[in-house]
Amino acid sequence: MGGNDYDVVKLHGHWASPFSTRVLWALNLKKVPYEFIAEDLPNKSELLLQYNPVHKKIPVLVHGGKPICESMVIIEYIEETWPQSPSLLPKDPYERAIIRFWVHFVELKGPSIWMVFRTFGEEQEKAKKESVEMLRRIEEFCVEKINNNTNNKFFGGEEIGILDIALGGMIVEWQPTTKAMTTPPPTRLRVFDGASYTTGFWVDEASCFVFEVGARCSRHRI
Closest CA to 169 of 71, 91, 97: 71
Are the C-beta atoms of 170 and 18 separated by less than 8 Å?
yes
Cis peptide before 185 (omega within 30 of 0): no
For the CA atoms of 125, 128, 130, 135, the dihedral, rounded to the nearest 10 degrees, stands at -160
Rama region for 12: left / alpha / beta (φ>0; ψ in -120 to 50; rest)? beta
Kindly report, residue by residue over 84-100, the tens digit of the pLDDT. Answer: 988 999 999 998 999 99
CATH code: domain 93-213 is 1.20.1050.10
Distance (Å) of CA 211 to CA 44, 113, 164, 201: 30, 22, 15, 15
Domains 5-81 and 93-213 share a fold: no
Residue with the bigger pLDDT between 87 and 209: it is 87
Kindly report, residue by residue over 154-169, the tens digit of the pLDDT. Answer: 776 677 889 988 988 7
Confidence label for 189 from pLDDT (cuts 50, 70 and 90)? very low
Give the chain's end-to-end CA distance (angstroms, integer). Answer: 19
Residue 215 pLDDT > 50: no
pTM across the whole model: 0.77
Residue 219 pLDDT > 70: no
Instruction: Name the H helices within 58-153.
Output: 71-81, 93-109, 112-118, 121-147
Q: What residues does each domain of the chain span?
A: 5-81, 93-213
38-42, 82-86, 152-156, 192-196 — which is least confidently predicted?
192-196
Chain mean pLDDT for the chain: 78
Kindly report, residue by residue over 6-24, the tens digit of the pLDDT. Answer: 689 999 999 889 899 999 9
For the CA atoms of 157, 153, 142, 87, the dihedral, rounded to the nearest 10 degrees, stands at -30
CA-based R_g, the chain, Å: 18
> Number of helices (H) and strands (E), helices first, in the chain?
8, 4
| Class in CATH terms, 5-81 | alpha beta
